[in-house]
A = this chain, B = another copy of it.
Amino acid sequence: MESSKKQTLSIKVDPFNTDFAKRWSWMSLGKTLLNAAELHAKNRGFGMYNVNSENCTWVLSRLCVEIFEMPVVWDTVNVCTWIENIYRLFTDRNFSIKGADGKVYGYARSIWALIDYTTREPQNLEQMYGDDFGGFLAPEEECPIRKQGRVKPLDNDCWVKDIKSEYSDIDLNGHVNSIKYIEHIMDLFPMSDYENGRNMSRIEIAYMSESYYSDILSLYKKKIDDDVYEVEVRGRKDDSDSTLSQMNTLVRCKLFFK
Protein backbone atom coordinates (compact mmCIF):
# COMPACT_ATOMS: atom_id res chain seq x y z
CA MET A 1 0.00 0.00 0.00
CA GLU A 2 1.21 3.44 -0.89
CA SER A 3 1.23 5.93 1.97
CA SER A 4 -1.10 8.89 1.66
CA LYS A 5 1.98 11.11 1.50
CA LYS A 6 3.34 9.56 -1.69
CA GLN A 7 1.98 9.27 -5.20
CA THR A 8 3.20 6.92 -7.91
CA LEU A 9 2.67 7.37 -11.62
CA SER A 10 3.44 4.18 -13.54
CA ILE A 11 4.29 4.29 -17.19
CA LYS A 12 5.67 1.96 -19.81
CA VAL A 13 8.52 3.29 -21.95
CA ASP A 14 6.72 3.16 -25.28
CA PRO A 15 8.95 2.88 -28.37
CA PHE A 16 8.25 6.37 -29.62
CA ASN A 17 9.05 7.93 -26.25
CA THR A 18 12.68 6.88 -26.63
CA ASP A 19 15.69 8.47 -28.31
CA PHE A 20 17.67 7.04 -31.22
CA ALA A 21 19.39 4.57 -28.84
CA LYS A 22 16.06 3.20 -27.55
CA ARG A 23 16.58 4.91 -24.17
CA TRP A 24 13.69 6.72 -22.49
CA SER A 25 13.85 10.28 -23.79
CA TRP A 26 14.67 13.04 -21.32
CA MET A 27 11.60 14.90 -22.66
CA SER A 28 9.28 12.05 -21.72
CA LEU A 29 11.09 11.52 -18.41
CA GLY A 30 10.83 15.22 -17.50
CA LYS A 31 7.16 15.46 -18.43
CA THR A 32 6.45 12.33 -16.39
CA LEU A 33 8.00 14.04 -13.34
CA LEU A 34 5.71 17.06 -13.82
CA ASN A 35 2.70 14.82 -14.43
CA ALA A 36 3.41 12.85 -11.25
CA ALA A 37 3.80 16.10 -9.28
CA GLU A 38 0.47 17.40 -10.55
CA LEU A 39 -1.25 14.07 -9.87
CA HIS A 40 0.10 14.09 -6.30
CA ALA A 41 -1.04 17.67 -5.72
CA LYS A 42 -4.43 17.23 -7.39
CA ASN A 43 -5.26 14.14 -5.35
CA ARG A 44 -4.52 16.11 -2.16
CA GLY A 45 -6.45 19.28 -2.99
CA PHE A 46 -3.65 21.59 -4.10
CA GLY A 47 -3.28 20.80 -7.81
CA MET A 48 -3.13 23.48 -10.45
CA TYR A 49 -6.91 23.68 -10.81
CA ASN A 50 -7.32 24.04 -7.05
CA VAL A 51 -4.81 26.87 -6.77
CA ASN A 52 -6.00 28.50 -10.02
CA SER A 53 -9.37 28.98 -8.36
CA GLU A 54 -7.54 31.02 -5.72
CA ASN A 55 -5.88 33.12 -8.46
CA CYS A 56 -2.58 31.32 -7.93
CA THR A 57 -0.31 29.02 -9.93
CA TRP A 58 2.56 26.67 -9.08
CA VAL A 59 5.90 27.72 -10.55
CA LEU A 60 8.87 25.37 -10.86
CA SER A 61 11.96 27.12 -9.55
CA ARG A 62 14.62 24.39 -9.47
CA LEU A 63 14.86 20.91 -10.93
CA CYS A 64 17.68 18.42 -10.49
CA VAL A 65 17.49 14.93 -12.02
CA GLU A 66 20.14 12.25 -11.68
CA ILE A 67 19.89 9.01 -13.63
CA PHE A 68 22.09 6.04 -12.72
CA GLU A 69 20.74 3.93 -15.56
CA MET A 70 18.25 5.12 -18.15
CA PRO A 71 15.22 2.87 -18.69
CA VAL A 72 14.91 1.54 -22.22
CA VAL A 73 12.04 0.68 -24.53
CA TRP A 74 9.25 -1.44 -22.96
CA ASP A 75 10.59 -1.00 -19.40
CA THR A 76 7.95 -0.26 -16.78
CA VAL A 77 8.83 2.80 -14.71
CA ASN A 78 7.27 3.89 -11.42
CA VAL A 79 7.79 7.58 -10.70
CA CYS A 80 7.02 8.22 -7.04
CA THR A 81 6.82 11.74 -5.62
CA TRP A 82 6.43 13.30 -2.19
CA ILE A 83 6.99 16.63 -0.44
CA GLU A 84 10.18 16.70 1.58
CA ASN A 85 9.77 20.09 3.18
CA ILE A 86 8.15 23.48 3.05
CA TYR A 87 9.58 26.87 3.82
CA ARG A 88 7.65 30.12 3.89
CA LEU A 89 7.85 30.74 0.14
CA PHE A 90 9.08 27.44 -1.30
CA THR A 91 8.43 23.73 -1.11
CA ASP A 92 10.83 20.87 -1.85
CA ARG A 93 9.34 18.00 -3.86
CA ASN A 94 11.39 14.86 -4.48
CA PHE A 95 11.00 11.90 -6.82
CA SER A 96 12.25 8.34 -7.11
CA ILE A 97 12.38 6.66 -10.51
CA LYS A 98 12.30 2.89 -10.19
CA GLY A 99 11.56 -0.24 -12.18
CA ALA A 100 8.70 -2.66 -11.52
CA ASP A 101 11.18 -4.91 -9.70
CA GLY A 102 12.35 -2.06 -7.45
CA LYS A 103 15.47 -1.42 -9.52
CA VAL A 104 16.61 2.19 -9.00
CA TYR A 105 16.91 4.20 -12.22
CA GLY A 106 17.41 7.57 -10.53
CA TYR A 107 16.07 10.35 -8.36
CA ALA A 108 15.01 13.96 -8.75
CA ARG A 109 14.66 17.03 -6.56
CA SER A 110 12.54 20.08 -7.29
CA ILE A 111 11.65 23.38 -5.64
CA TRP A 112 8.34 25.14 -6.28
CA ALA A 113 6.73 28.46 -5.40
CA LEU A 114 3.04 29.34 -5.44
CA ILE A 115 2.60 32.73 -7.05
CA ASP A 116 -0.36 35.07 -7.35
CA TYR A 117 -1.47 35.46 -10.99
CA THR A 118 -2.03 39.18 -10.67
CA THR A 119 0.82 40.38 -8.48
CA ARG A 120 3.26 37.55 -9.48
CA GLU A 121 4.24 37.55 -5.78
CA PRO A 122 5.07 34.24 -4.08
CA GLN A 123 2.51 33.24 -1.48
CA ASN A 124 3.19 32.24 2.12
CA LEU A 125 2.74 28.46 1.95
CA GLU A 126 2.61 28.04 5.73
CA GLN A 127 -0.40 30.34 5.90
CA MET A 128 -2.24 28.48 3.14
CA TYR A 129 -1.71 24.87 4.09
CA GLY A 130 -0.18 24.97 7.58
CA ASP A 131 3.43 24.31 8.45
CA ASP A 132 3.03 20.58 7.85
CA PHE A 133 1.43 21.26 4.46
CA GLY A 134 -1.80 19.60 5.42
CA GLY A 135 0.03 16.62 6.95
CA PHE A 136 1.60 15.58 3.65
CA LEU A 137 5.27 16.20 4.45
CA ALA A 138 7.40 13.08 4.12
CA PRO A 139 10.93 14.14 5.12
CA GLU A 140 11.71 10.55 6.09
CA GLU A 141 11.73 9.44 2.43
CA GLU A 142 15.15 8.88 0.91
CA CYS A 143 16.41 10.99 -2.01
CA PRO A 144 20.13 10.15 -2.10
CA ILE A 145 21.32 12.64 -4.72
CA ARG A 146 23.09 15.84 -3.83
CA LYS A 147 21.29 19.15 -4.07
CA GLN A 148 22.10 21.36 -7.00
CA GLY A 149 24.65 24.13 -6.80
CA ARG A 150 24.58 27.66 -8.14
CA VAL A 151 25.38 28.30 -11.78
CA LYS A 152 27.01 31.63 -12.56
CA PRO A 153 26.07 33.74 -15.60
CA LEU A 154 27.91 32.82 -18.79
CA ASP A 155 29.87 35.32 -20.86
CA ASN A 156 28.27 36.71 -24.01
CA ASP A 157 30.87 34.95 -26.14
CA CYS A 158 29.36 31.60 -25.09
CA TRP A 159 26.37 32.36 -27.36
CA VAL A 160 25.47 29.44 -29.64
CA LYS A 161 22.15 30.27 -31.29
CA ASP A 162 18.80 32.02 -31.08
CA ILE A 163 15.48 30.25 -31.47
CA LYS A 164 11.95 31.61 -31.46
CA SER A 165 9.41 29.98 -29.16
CA GLU A 166 6.61 28.36 -31.13
CA TYR A 167 3.15 26.86 -30.52
CA SER A 168 4.68 23.52 -29.52
CA ASP A 169 6.82 25.16 -26.79
CA ILE A 170 3.84 26.48 -24.84
CA ASP A 171 2.15 24.37 -22.17
CA LEU A 172 -1.15 24.61 -20.34
CA ASN A 173 0.33 27.29 -18.06
CA GLY A 174 0.68 29.56 -21.08
CA HIS A 175 4.48 29.80 -20.94
CA VAL A 176 7.39 27.94 -22.50
CA ASN A 177 7.26 24.51 -20.87
CA SER A 178 9.95 23.80 -18.27
CA ILE A 179 10.86 20.48 -19.87
CA LYS A 180 10.86 21.85 -23.42
CA TYR A 181 13.88 23.94 -22.37
CA ILE A 182 15.66 20.64 -21.70
CA GLU A 183 14.94 19.55 -25.29
CA HIS A 184 16.38 22.81 -26.66
CA ILE A 185 19.39 22.50 -24.34
CA MET A 186 20.11 18.87 -25.28
CA ASP A 187 19.89 19.87 -28.96
CA LEU A 188 22.94 22.11 -28.38
CA PHE A 189 25.07 18.95 -28.31
CA PRO A 190 26.00 16.98 -31.42
CA MET A 191 24.60 13.47 -31.84
CA SER A 192 28.10 12.07 -31.28
CA ASP A 193 27.86 13.22 -27.64
CA TYR A 194 24.98 10.75 -27.17
CA GLU A 195 26.48 7.83 -29.07
CA ASN A 196 28.41 4.76 -27.94
CA GLY A 197 26.32 4.38 -24.78
CA ARG A 198 27.06 7.93 -23.63
CA ASN A 199 24.10 9.81 -22.14
CA MET A 200 23.30 12.77 -19.96
CA SER A 201 23.39 11.47 -16.39
CA ARG A 202 22.50 14.55 -14.37
CA ILE A 203 20.95 17.93 -15.00
CA GLU A 204 20.57 20.84 -12.57
CA ILE A 205 18.27 23.62 -13.71
CA ALA A 206 17.41 26.96 -12.15
CA TYR A 207 14.30 28.53 -13.69
CA MET A 208 14.82 32.29 -13.23
CA SER A 209 11.94 33.81 -15.19
CA GLU A 210 9.25 32.80 -17.65
CA SER A 211 9.09 33.23 -21.41
CA TYR A 212 6.10 33.26 -23.70
CA TYR A 213 4.95 32.55 -27.24
CA SER A 214 7.12 34.16 -29.95
CA ASP A 215 9.86 35.26 -27.56
CA ILE A 216 13.41 34.99 -28.85
CA LEU A 217 15.45 32.56 -26.75
CA SER A 218 19.24 32.91 -26.85
CA LEU A 219 21.23 29.85 -25.84
CA TYR A 220 24.75 30.01 -24.35
CA LYS A 221 26.95 26.99 -23.66
CA LYS A 222 30.30 26.50 -21.92
CA LYS A 223 32.41 23.41 -21.31
CA ILE A 224 33.38 23.39 -17.63
CA ASP A 225 35.22 20.11 -17.40
CA ASP A 226 35.33 16.77 -19.18
CA ASP A 227 31.66 15.76 -19.48
CA VAL A 228 30.40 18.84 -17.61
CA TYR A 229 28.73 21.80 -19.31
CA GLU A 230 26.83 24.90 -18.29
CA VAL A 231 24.02 26.33 -20.38
CA GLU A 232 22.16 29.60 -20.03
CA VAL A 233 18.99 30.67 -21.83
CA ARG A 234 18.09 34.33 -22.09
CA GLY A 235 14.90 35.70 -23.58
CA ARG A 236 13.56 38.85 -25.15
CA LYS A 237 10.43 39.99 -26.94
CA ASP A 238 10.56 39.68 -30.72
CA ASP A 239 10.34 43.35 -31.64
CA SER A 240 12.81 45.67 -33.23
CA ASP A 241 13.05 47.83 -30.12
CA SER A 242 14.51 45.02 -28.07
CA THR A 243 18.14 45.39 -27.16
CA LEU A 244 20.51 42.99 -25.50
CA SER A 245 20.08 44.90 -22.25
CA GLN A 246 16.40 43.96 -22.25
CA MET A 247 17.15 40.26 -22.15
CA ASN A 248 15.97 38.27 -19.15
CA THR A 249 17.83 35.26 -17.88
CA LEU A 250 15.30 32.44 -18.17
CA VAL A 251 17.28 29.35 -17.28
CA ARG A 252 20.73 28.46 -15.98
CA CYS A 253 21.74 24.85 -15.90
CA LYS A 254 24.57 22.40 -15.49
CA LEU A 255 24.75 19.09 -17.33
CA PHE A 256 26.79 16.00 -16.62
CA PHE A 257 27.46 13.27 -19.17
CA LYS A 258 28.85 9.83 -18.70
Contact = CB atoms under 8 A, between A and B. Distances in A.
Interface of A: 9, 14-22, 25, 27, 31-32, 34-35, 38-39, 48, 73, 166-168, 170-172, 174, 177, 179, 183, 186-187, 189-191, 194, 213-214
**Max chain B C-beta neighbours (<10 A), residue from A168, A170, A189, A190:** A168
A168 to B, nearest CB: 5
A187 B166 contact: yes
Contacts of A194: 167
A167 B179 contact: no
Contacts of A73: 172
Contact of A171 (B9, B20, B31, B48): B20
B16 A35 contact: yes
B34 A15 contact: yes
26 contacts: A14-B32, A14-B35, A14-B38, A14-B39, A15-B34, A15-B35, A15-B38, A15-B48, A15-B172, A16-B34, A16-B171, A16-B172, A18-B171, A18-B172, A19-B170, A20-B167, A20-B172, A20-B213, A21-B172, A25-B168, A73-B172, A166-B187, A167-B186, A168-B186, A170-B191, A191-B214
Closest 7 CB pairs of A and B: A166-B187, A14-B35, A16-B31, A20-B170, A16-B34, A22-B172, A168-B183
Contacts of A9: 14
A141 B183 CA distance: 39
A191 B248 CA distance: 22
Contacts of A39: 14
A250 to B, nearest CB: 18
A187 B168 contact: yes
Contact of A19 (B34, B167, B186): B167
Given A15-B48, A19-B172, 17 more contacts: A9-B14, A14-B32, A14-B35, A14-B39, A15-B35, A15-B38, A16-B172, A16-B177, A17-B35, A18-B172, A19-B170, A20-B172, A20-B213, A27-B168, A167-B186, A168-B183, A170-B191
Contacts of A171: 16, 18-20
B167 A189 contact: yes
Contacts of A213: 20, 191
